[in-house]
Amino acid sequence: MKNSIKKFISKLSGKWIFDEIMLGYTDKFVSVPKIGNYIRIKAFELHVSEIIENNVAGDIAEVGVFQGDFAKYMNEAFPDRTFYLFDTFEGFDERDVSIEKKEKFSSGDQDFSNTSVEGVLNKMPNKGKCVVKQGYFPESLKGLESRFAFVSLDADLFQPIYEGLTYFYPRLNKGGVIFIHDYNNNLYSGVKDAVKKYCNENQISCVPIPDAWGTAIIRKP
- pLDDT exceeds cutoff 80 at 195: yes
Which of 133, 220, 216, 206 is CA-nearest to residue 170?
220
Q: How far apart are CA 81 and CA 63, in angstroms?
A: 16
Which phi and psi angles does 94 have, rounded to 5°?
A: -60, -25
205 exposure class (CB count in 10 Å sphere: 0-12, 13-18, 19+): exposed
User: Is the CATH number 3.40.640.10 carried by domain 57-219?
Assistant: no
106 and 190 in contact (C-beta within 8 Å)?
A: yes
Q: How far apart are CA 147 and CA 142, in angstroms?
A: 15
The DSSP 8-state label assigned to residue 115 in this structure reads: -
Could you report the per-residue pLDDT of 155-169, keeping only the tens digit for each?
999 999 999 999 999
191 and 183 in contact (C-beta within 8 Å)?
A: yes
Could you report the per-residue pLDDT of 103-140, keeping only the tens digit for each?
999 999 889 999 999 999 999 999 999 999 999 999 99
